[in-house]
Amino acid sequence: MQRRHKAQGRSAVIDVQDATSLDPRRITTVWSPPVALQGTVDALETEGYRCRAYLVDISERERVYEAAKKVKQEVGNVQVLINNAGIVACRTLWDLSDKAIESTYAVNILSHYWTTRAFLPEMMNGNSGHIVTVSSVTGLLGTYGCTDYSATKFACVGFHESLYSELKTHGYDNIHMTLVCPYYINTGMFAGCKPRLFPMLEPNYVADSMVRSILKNEVNCTLPDHVRMFLPLKCLLPAKMCWELMYRVVKGPESMMGFRGRGKATAG
């Protein structure tokens, strides 16, 4: 990993909340929605980063491929790819519209295919790079009001683990992969939720933890760390008992019922 953090290194940060922990000597390429784009660029440049920003609808495959081609021409090959885009509607299945479901899948998981396929060939050619998939704890445990969101985050985990297996099987040992599964983050995306198990995580804590995991080439980054000790219960306990635990002790459904987010489809 250290070699890729020399001055010529480049990273593509897809819809990042806080990218200012990355190496200032690198050229950081940010793809983001317009509401977050300029703020992210300003923060990076204030910290002394060289930054290029691109406005890309990552739910549109051809636009992703066009933007990736432009990045390679203007900046160079991407060596660190962070897929972090996400939206959430937080409605029960019967209250979700067909369009909302399709939008969630397009942004939260299908975009990972387009961005990764766009930048992976150059990583494979040099057998060097790092792909970071930002999923969620809701991609490990299904959550009330998140049939669309949780499903896409589960898909992110499956996508990441399968790609990891493919790369290792075919000898690409120097293309590292890190799967990040944070608890709810206090960005406004889950505004109104009242988590009972742990308090919401602060964005800076998540960003710093994620960067540390990348620098260490860690395979998994679950936040907070002690969430991991609850995960085996899902496999060890009978399904009914597991649900009772979540409903009565964790109070998962109750914690989500006050959700208001940032709007009808909330972006993270």
Active site residues: 149
Cα(16)–Cα(73) distance, integer angstroms = 22
Query: What b/e string do you get for 203-214 counting C-beta neighbours within 10 Å, with b at 16 or more?
Result: eeebbebbbebb
Sign, CA dihedral 98-103-109-113, equals: positive
Q: Say whether 188 sits in a helix, a strand or coil.
A: coil
Strand partners, 185: 201
Specify the DSSP class assigned to residue 58.
T
Cα(144)–Cα(152) distance, integer angstroms = 14
